[in-house]
């Protein structure tokens, strides 16, 4: 039997997931569980590169996890990892930092964009963001990294670091490849890309009423003043979302031609979208509400995934220490341990 390729991917826990995450990412991840050994990372350290809100971080993790599980991420088949609990992520990131020049990191497009947008002095944490991401991937020796296009430069760096390590110290890492999702980015209610920070998102956790309210306020075709004017379907976010969420293709085709002929009003089309969305999301919302209401179950899932992951991460670090000529990590670990108040060692 062929062994399955290993995948690692993840999100920063910035809060609840929206319908753009669902169709762009989460549904793809859920499907990949059939063909790959999957690790899904809750990248809580990465959140700290741009903002710190200690009072929100844990609830954001809880919201994101409830959404992941509701969307079909299955802890019985996949490993869900909480990054900050596994010190090996940070350790490997530090060691990879020794193989990476500052100039190389300053050329990473996401970093350059952020420098332009956020009017701030960058922390070394922000500069080394993609080095930590590389450690996330390679600490599990993952071969495949499903990501959106914006993350490609980071996977390219991971590839380079793996290669440099292998050439310098001996071949232990796969050179990971990005797996680009072909799902289109969804428009938000204002027709810009749906994004939490734009305030234009429809969330999985929104109630049906909240969803309907957002949809009824959506941007449509700005050239159309009356319901009898011929309307545009192309570039109209209401129709872009209907294309994704309305299951009756024949009916949708007919509605589009009525819209183009000025025979159906915006209100009616929006009502249809609200219904389709609420229908599509109903079972998922039920699961997400139930997960969110069980914080101890969520913690159990998180910690059982994380302890499985930790053993793999530990083994990688031992190998890395040995290759890099550091004191063998295992020996070190046995001699230098922390004694707990109850006498146990950890």
Given the complex with ligand TRP, which of 109 and 283 has the nearer CB atom? 109
**Toward ligand TRP, which CB reaches closer, 66 or 144?**
144
- Our CB check for ligand TRP shows the closer of 42 and 215 to be 42
The residue from 19, 92, 144, 145 that contacts ligand TRP (CB under 6 A) is 145
Q: Work out which of 23, 32, 38, 41 binds ligand TRP, going by CB under 6 A.
A: 41
Taking a C-beta distance cutoff of 8 angstroms, is the pair 336, 115 a contact? no
Q: Which is nearer to ligand TRP, 136 or 329 (CB)?
A: 136
Least Å distance, CB 329 to ligand TRP, is 23
Confirm or reject binding of residue 159 to ligand TRP (CB under 6 A). Answer: no
Beta carbon nearer to ligand TRP, 11 or 321: 11
Nearer to ligand TRP among residue 131 and residue 215 (C-beta): 131
Residues sharing a CB contact under 8 Å with residue 96, sequence separation 6 or more, in sequence order: 131, 134, 135, 138, 161, 165
The correct pick among 81, 95, 126, 137 for binding ligand TRP (CB under 6 A) is 137
Query: Is residue 64 at the binding interface for ligand TRP, with CB under 6 A as the rule?
Result: no
Question: Which one of 10-18, 166-174, 205-213, 266-274 is the stretch in contact with ligand TRP (CB under 6 A)?
Answer: 10-18
The size of the interface with ligand TRP (CB under 6 A), counted in residues, is: 14
Stretch that binds ligand TRP, among 28-36, 40-48, 112-120, 330-338 (CB under 6 A): 40-48
Q: Which of 37, 44, 136, 221 binds ligand TRP (CB under 6 A)?
A: 136
Rounded to the nearest whole angstrom, what is the least distance from the CB of residue 83 to ligand TRP in the complex?
Answer: 7
Residue 240 interacts with ligand TRP (CB under 6 A): yes or no? no
Asked whether position 176 contacts ligand TRP by CB under 6 A, the answer is no
Alpha carbon of 190 to those of 186, 217, 236, 246, 268: distances in Å? 11, 9, 10, 20, 18
7, 9, 202, 318: which one binds ligand TRP (CB under 6 A): 9
Question: Does 89 engage in binding with ligand TRP (CB under 6 A)?
Answer: no
Note the residues at the interface with ligand TRP (CB under 6 A): 8-12, 41, 43, 46, 133, 136-137, 145, 147, 151
């Amino acid at each position: 039997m062929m062994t399955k390729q290993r995948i690692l991917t993840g999100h920063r826990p910035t809060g609840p997931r929206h319908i753009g995450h669902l169709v762009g990412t989460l549904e793809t991840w859920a499907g990949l569980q059939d063909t790959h050994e999957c690790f899904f990372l809750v990248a809580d350290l990465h959140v700290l590169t741009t903002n710190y809100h200690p009072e929100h971080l844990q609830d954001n993790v809880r919201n994101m996890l409830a959404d992941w599980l509701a969307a079909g991420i299955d802890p019985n088949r996949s490993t869900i990892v909480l990054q900050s609990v596994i010190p090996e992520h940070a350790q490997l990131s530090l060691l990879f930092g020794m193989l990476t020049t500052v100039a190389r990191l300053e050329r990473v497009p996401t970093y350059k964009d952020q420098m332009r947008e956020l009017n701030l002095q960058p922390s070394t944490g922000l500069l080394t963001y993609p080095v930590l991401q590389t450690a996330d991937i390679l600490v599990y020796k993952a071969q495949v990294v499903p990501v959106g296009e914006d993350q490609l430069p980071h996977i390219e760096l991971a590839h380079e670091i793996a290669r440099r390590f292998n050439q310098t110290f001996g071949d232990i890492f796969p050179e990971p490849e990005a797996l680009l999702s072909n799902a289109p980015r969804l428009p938000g209610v204002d027709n810009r890309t749906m994004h939490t920070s734009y305030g234009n998102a429809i969330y999985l956790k929104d109630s049906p009423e909240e969803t309907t309210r957002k949809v009824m306020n959506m941007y449509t075709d700005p050239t159309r003043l009356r319901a009898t004017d011929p309307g545009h379907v192309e570039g109209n976010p209401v129709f872009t979302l209907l294309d994704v969420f309305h299951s009756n293709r024949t009916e949708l085709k007919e509605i589009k031609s009525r819209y183009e002929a000025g025979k159906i009003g915006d209100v009616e089309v929006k009502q249809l979208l609200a219904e389709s969305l609420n229908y599509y999301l109903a079972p998922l919302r039920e699961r997400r509400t139930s997960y969110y209401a069980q914080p101890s179950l969520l913690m159990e899932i998180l910690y059982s995934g994380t302890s499985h992951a930790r053993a793999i991460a530990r083994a990688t670090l031992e190998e890395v220490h040995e290759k890099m000529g550091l004191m063998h990590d295992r020996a070190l670990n046995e001699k230098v341990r922390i004694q707990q108040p109850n006498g146990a060692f950890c």
